[in-house]
Structure 1
């Protein structure tokens, strides 16, 4: 995918209390008098999306002669673990922290302490609230990604009035909220519209998504479309639909663009997925961190890394790429 290279572990694996395993990547001294020392904090180290983002950051750091220390929350929503990781990285003297916050508001105080200590803070994938709590954000425009999913589902339904279930992410997450809002906009529905037959949070987890979808379907199985916040959620929902014999009649798309998700589009489990590009987030974040260590320059504002609908059932008015294109550009194992 997009220039991903095989990276080699050159550091020492340490266990940090309250966080997942820490991994250091060393490199040659930079022109500024030493390698850029970068901290990366992802939401978890189990979700394939964040595993891929971390691998891309590791590869970029190794390629640019930087040192990367990778930490993660123990589960989706582990705000306390991420706060401890921020404090740990401040103590280790990193010059930049790249973070995908579990809670857009929950890490604000810890990030303020990092910035007061002279650390550049860049949010990857998920913006902080307020956005100014980070120096810059490098991410998918999640509202637009949700809108693309909703617009595709609406077009795929054709003349059928929508009867929708919505399987959201983590309550309070800006990514979940923006994708939810974008999907409704793409469908042309208002929040609380009667066409939305039920909603539930699944924290981006396949098992929770299956349980949540089963509970909603027990109340009403008269549906023809499902919004899924990400591809693990979609896998869980597909299992729930399949157990009730509904999988073939329901339009379901998702967001991520992992190789497993693209394979689900190819097999027909998903009609489409909206691909995002964690490799671009990681590479641009590491580039900014290296430049900051070298010159003191700081990026600012929002940097959109783009999103693309992947499907072999294109819809009029919805720009898309084929599954074959998606297989060439997806992230994760192939």
Structure 2
């Protein structure tokens, strides 16, 4: 833990709080469900019959999901799991995930691990559970939570809150001119509102509906750190992509060129936001995000990112796979973490600019346990 007080550097280390990763090696490639599925046969598993499991991610290009896919494929043999990897074409492709779910049912799989795209896939998940498959959500808790049997995920509210607490302390009482780069503007996803609202709560800004982005007061006082005035310039969708982050940041800058604090849903969006800020001649804005991938941790080390909330996708996938194999062989089902409605796989704030009162690790420690190497 770091507890040294810090005042913001001139660039405030372009804060990208990227909640992300478990330090386990990840290899292999995963394919896009729109074209084909990858199947990894498990090992001997002690002579037990193999268990069919499908891992369905939102896409196969985001490093977070690639890490999850590759780590699961590498680990499948430990539990004699016959793993099929599938995904949507890109963020927002509900139908790609629905097709993958239907394929899993037809194959006779015992379970599904899924990072649910939106409520649009809920009916397909119900169909799988009605067919006897055990369904575990990874990373993104569905809405409602009981759509699946259990969720293995980062505490996304806490990940956003760590970003906000760090940002408020780093501002050291200065006015906060804030851009919020969310995931979607046409879908409601729990990971989206939990990170956004958690960030605002960490800043000490009152939120409206805790499951809705963009309905808080646009001006007022933040109470985190030393406290100060705030202005929320924009809530823009980035689709969790670098190009989306850049265009979203450009739209925000068109509204107010003096933005000095940027929250982003993930690191790809943060990279795009940074490019837009740099092109606009804004070298002082702080960027915070969630992921904790190796590229993001390296950006912390280089001073591009100020802080990132690190999450652990490999842990989500491997623990989920183990749980399905255990249940298929007559074992007990996993239980939620005490006080939560999901199994918490952990989060740590990575920053080289520690602040008093916010627990964190530095980029060297973060690099040791990052994903996407």
The TM tier, using the shorter chain, reads over 0.9
Counterpart of 2:98 (choices 78, 83, 93) is: 83
1:294 aligned onto 2:329: yes
Which aligned pairs between 1:66-215 and structure 2 lie closer than 5 A?
A: 66-103=81-118, 105-171=119-185, 172-190=188-206, 191-194=216-219, 195-215=231-251
Structure 1 CA distance for aligned equivalents of residues 280 and 32 of structure 2? 44
Residues 215-224 or 29-38, more deviating: 29-38
Q: Normalising by the residue count of structure 1, what TM-score does the alignment of the two structures yield?
A: 0.93
Q: Relative to structure 1, is the Cα distance of residues 30 and 293 closer, same or farther in structure 2, using a 3 angstrom cutoff?
A: farther
Q: Normalising by the residue count of structure 2, what TM-score does the alignment of the two structures yield?
A: 0.83
Structure 1 CA distance for aligned equivalents of residues 31 and 271 of structure 2? 33
For 1:106, what is the secondary structure of its paired residue?
helix
For 1:4, what is the secondary structure of its paired residue?
coil
Q: Relative to structure 1, is the Cα distance of residues 159 and 242 closer, same or farther in structure 2, using a 3 angstrom cutoff?
A: same
Counterpart of 2:259 (choices 203, 207, 223) is: 223
Q: Relative to structure 1, is the Cα distance of residues 309 and 5 closer, same or farther in structure 2, using a 3 angstrom cutoff?
A: closer
For 2:112, what is the secondary structure of its paired residue?
strand
CA RMSD, aligned part only? 1.9
Structure 2 CA distance for aligned equivalents of residues 14 and 158 of structure 1? 45
Structure 2 CA distance for aligned equivalents of residues 324 and 106 of structure 1? 40
Q: Relative to structure 1, is the Cα distance of residues 22 and 257 closer, same or farther in structure 2, using a 3 angstrom cutoff?
A: same
For 2:132, what is the secondary structure of its paired residue?
coil
* Aligned position for 1:236: 272
Structure 1 CA distance for aligned equivalents of residues 26 and 63 of structure 2? 17
Contact map agreement 1:98 1:122 (CA 8 A) in 2: yes
**What are the Cα deviations for residues 250-270 of structure 1, in whole angstroms up to 9, with x where unaligned?**
111211000000011111111
**What are the Cα deviations for residues 67-100 of structure 1, in whole angstroms up to 9, with x where unaligned?**
1000000010101110111001100110010000
Q: Relative to structure 1, is the Cα distance of residues 188 and 265 closer, same or farther in structure 2, using a 3 angstrom cutoff?
A: same
For 1:45, what is the secondary structure of its paired residue?
coil
Listed as ranges, the gaps of 5+ residues in structure 2 are 1-21, 207-215, 220-230, 337-341
Q: Relative to structure 1, is the Cα distance of residues 222 and 28 closer, same or farther in structure 2, using a 3 angstrom cutoff?
A: closer
Contact map agreement 1:274 1:308 (CA 8 A) in 2: yes
Counterpart of 2:316 (choices 281, 297, 302) is: 281
Greater relative contact order (Cα 8 A, min sep 6): structure 1 or 2?
A: 2
Structure 1 CA distance for aligned equivalents of residues 166 and 154 of structure 2? 18
Count of residue pairs the alignment pairs up: 325
Contact map agreement 1:25 1:61 (CA 8 A) in 2: yes
* Aligned position for 1:23: 38
Structure 2 CA distance for aligned equivalents of residues 5 and 110 of structure 1? 29
Structure 2 CA distance for aligned equivalents of residues 85 and 6 of structure 1? 22
For 2:72, what is the secondary structure of its paired residue?
helix
For 1:137, what is the secondary structure of its paired residue?
strand
1:322 aligned onto 2:362: yes
* Aligned position for 1:4: 25
Q: Relative to structure 1, is the Cα distance of residues 3 and 93 closer, same or farther in structure 2, using a 3 angstrom cutoff?
A: same
Q: Relative to structure 1, is the Cα distance of residues 287 and 238 closer, same or farther in structure 2, using a 3 angstrom cutoff?
A: same
Contact map agreement 2:58 2:87 (CA 8 A) in 1: yes
Structure 2 CA distance for aligned equivalents of residues 57 and 237 of structure 1? 31
**What are the Cα deviations for residues 216-243 of structure 1, in whole angstroms up to 9, with x where unaligned?**
1012112211111100000000001101
